[in-house]
Structure formats: C-alpha cells, structure tokens
Amino acid sequence: MTSAAKQFPAAAIILGAGKGTRMKSKHPKVMHKVASLSMIGHVIKAVTQINADKAVVVVGPNMEMVEAEVAPHQTVIQHNQAGTGDAVKAALPLMKDFKQGTVLILFGDTPFIQPETLQSMISLREEGNAVVVLGFDADNPTGYGRLISNAEGKLTAIVEQKDASPEELKVNVCNSGVMAIDAEHLEELLLAIDNNNASGEYYLTDVVKLACDRDLECAVITTDEDQVMGVNSRANLAHAEKVWQEKRRRVAMDEGVTLIDPDTVFFAHDTVIGRDVVIGPNVFFGPKVRVADDVEIKAFSHLEGATVGTAAQVGPYARLRPGAELQEAAFVGNFVEVKNTVMGEGAKASHLTYLGDSEIGAGSNIGAGTITCNYDGFNKAKTILGENVFIGSNSALVAPVTIEKDAMVSAGSVITKDVSAESMAFARSPQKEKEGMATKFRELAKKKKEAAKAAQKKD
C-alpha cells in the first residue's frame, strides 16, 4: 500500500494500556499479532504512512515490551487506567509542543485502520471542525454507541445504547472511538471531562458534548466495519487474522498471482509478491519476504526473511529462513532448509539439504543429504562455493571452507579443507570387504535371538 500524502500538521495519541484480561495472556493485548505484526505495530505503520509529525503511545505499568515495540516513538504510562479520557490526558504533557494541527486518537487493538482514512479525517478536521469522529455502519448495531447528527449533518452527540431513545436506536452509524481533535482545543476539552458517572471513569466520548457546549463544530466520517474492528479475545484475534488474510489474498490475485488454494496461503503484513508467481497450497510467509516475477512456490513451504529472484523455484516442503537469497532461476526442492545463504543464478539444492551461512556459486549443484556444518557450538563460520561446483550426496562441508569453481566433491565426503578449482575431493574411509562375514553375522544374530526366547520361557 502506498503512503498517503500528508497535507496538514498531524500527531497521534495511541492508546495501548489495556491489559487484555480476556486474552488470558502474560503479554499486553496490543502485542498479539495479526499477519506477523503486533496489533499496535499495524497502527504505528498507518501513522507512519501519513507522515505524522509525532506519535505518543499510552502504555500501562510494566509494559516495557510495548515500549520496545513502538520505539523510537514516545511513550507515557497511564497509572490509574480510569477510562479512555484519562488515557488521553496522560499524554498531554508530551503534546505541549503541538498546538496547531490535528491530533488523532487511535487504539492499539484496532489494527486495520488505514492511512487513507486517517488522512480523510485530518482533511475534514481542517475544514473547521474541532472534533471529527470515525463511525461505521454496523451490520448489527446492538451494543454500540450511536453517532447523532443534526439536519445539517453535524455531529451533536455520542449516545451509548443504554441511554439511547427509541428514535436514536434507529441510527445505524456507530462510534468506533477513533477521533481527530483540533490541537488548539485538545487540552481544554480533555481537562473538562469529569468522572461523574456510575463507573467513575473519564470517557473520551464526552468531548463531543463539551465541544458542542462551546459552539465548536463536530463532524462524522464513516468507514467499513472491518477497518475499525477491535480485538479483545483470542476468538477476535483469529477472526481478525482471517479477515486480513482474505483481503490480502484477493489483492495478490488481482495483482497477477496464482493461488492454487487461496484459503491455505498465509501472508505477512509486509510480503511483496511479483507477477506471474504461482503459490501452491499450505504456503506460509513470515515477515520480510520479497518474491520476484515468474517464481513458483510449491506446497507446504515456509518462507521468512527471504528474497526469491526471478524464475526461481521453491519446494515443496522447503524452508527459507532469514537471510536466504535465491537468485534468478535458483532451485530449492523438498526438505531443503536455507539460512543466511545466497544461492547464485541457476544453483540447485533439490532435496534433503541444509545450507547455512553460505555462498553458493551460479550453476552449482548440491546433492541430497548435504549439510554445511556452520556452527561449532560457539561461533558461526562460512562455506563458499564457486561457480559450477558439484557436491555429491551425503556430504558434510565443515566451515570455514571454500570450494572453488568447477570443483567436485565425491558422495559421502566430509570436507574440512579448501578444494581448488577443477579438482575432485574424496574424504571418506576406504571401503573394506570380508568374505562370508554377512552369513556368519546372520547366524550369530539368529542364535542370540533364539537364546533370548528360551530364557523368557523359563522365566
């Protein structure tokens, strides 16, 4: 998705202090992931895409995990956690230098908010509205607060369902909680919120009435319900993942990607896929994967932190770990794992192979059962293969080691020294043969087995 162009000064206050009790987790709610990115990470991403001048995240006590996730953005602790109004008030000291423009109030557990929507809210706010509230037309409005507008279309109140009149209950535009507030009026409106209610909490929704009481105009802008979907439970999280993946799959197919079984392919928030790519069933993309044009990724493959070049092939049952780079027309087959390794143009590892911390030259062929021994228990070391190297099956390449271009390694070798260009390396014990030993072995094994059975009968 392209970044939305910023037209006016904007800042964001993101509420992320919720404990997420219903998640039954030791982790803060906003740290749970959708499409391999934390929910609050999605919100930060949207704010970044509109080039906001600053973002402040409100966290709860002992939420260092959230602070690390949103860095380098500023954080502030909401100690009392007495409602949404109280949460936004906690951020006021960090907003002292932002007095002109729009302050967006966002929620860290609403991961699907889009930069285009935020930009539209800012534009509407700049038209002279002190407050803009993001609403949605709910399929089932039960339980949601209603956004009440006058004949001129100006927002006059946010009414909770329990307080709504029969006429107000007919309104289908519901409150998402997301707001855009004039920075000039932000502190005044927030400090005017009181907790004179049954819960003793400070409600952000009160700012609409407070603004209207001061003859300040308020407005509503609407979006689809999915975009303001909140996540409060593991079931909500699973539903959010499903919604996100379904949309991303449609985008992929619209952009020229073939998904043989779309429902079984899972993308990450930042997956980049080229055109004429064919993706088989049960393929999973973790973060930081880039796939060029004309690639085929076969069934049951797992990619994370990898780059796949034009016309390369992956799988089935392949795993590309962070740092894997397949250059043009490279091939990684079934049960091959590649980590922090560059496979040059046309290089092949067809099956049952581990390649870690390596450089594989163009046109090289890696036989089945080959492994690079890249870790000695203390340090990682590198294996380097030149162009057109052939590695025989069941070989172990003990790093650090270099095998120069056009060299060959015979099957079953353990290579511990460099191999020069165009040479063939043998590194295995000489084969020995003892005549008649197979027959003697079988007879001896048979006698032992019969003796063991006889001993069991006596017992």
Q: Which residues are catalytic?
A: 351
Q: Quick one: tokens of 92? A: 């006021």
Cα–Cα distance for residue pair 423/406, rounded to 1 Å? 7
Separation CA 238–CA 321 (nearest Å): 25
DSSP, collapsed to helix, strand or coil, labels residue 93 as helix
Local structure of 49: helix, strand or coil: helix
| Angstrom distance (rounded) from CA 341 to CA 82 | 51
Nearest Cα residue to 114 out of 204, 7, 1: 1
Strands (E), 78-196: 102-107, 131-137, 146-149, 155-159, 173-182
8 A C-beta contact, residue 261 and residue 245: no
Contact 196, 108 (CB under 8 A): no
- Indicate if the alpha-carbon torsion angle 234, 237, 239, 245 is positive or negative: negative
* Cα-Cα end-to-end distance for the chain: 76
d(CA 413, CA 51) in angstroms, rounded, equals 56
- How many whole angstroms separate alpha carbon 87 and alpha carbon 70? 17
CA atoms within 13 A on the CB side of 364: 30
Task: Answer yes or no: are the C-beta atoms of 204 and 92 closer than 8 Å.
Answer: no
Grouping H, G, I as helix, E, B as strand and the rest as coil, residue 441 is helix
Partnered with residue 51 across adjacent β-strands are none
Indicate the pairing of strand 102-107 with strand 173-182: antiparallel
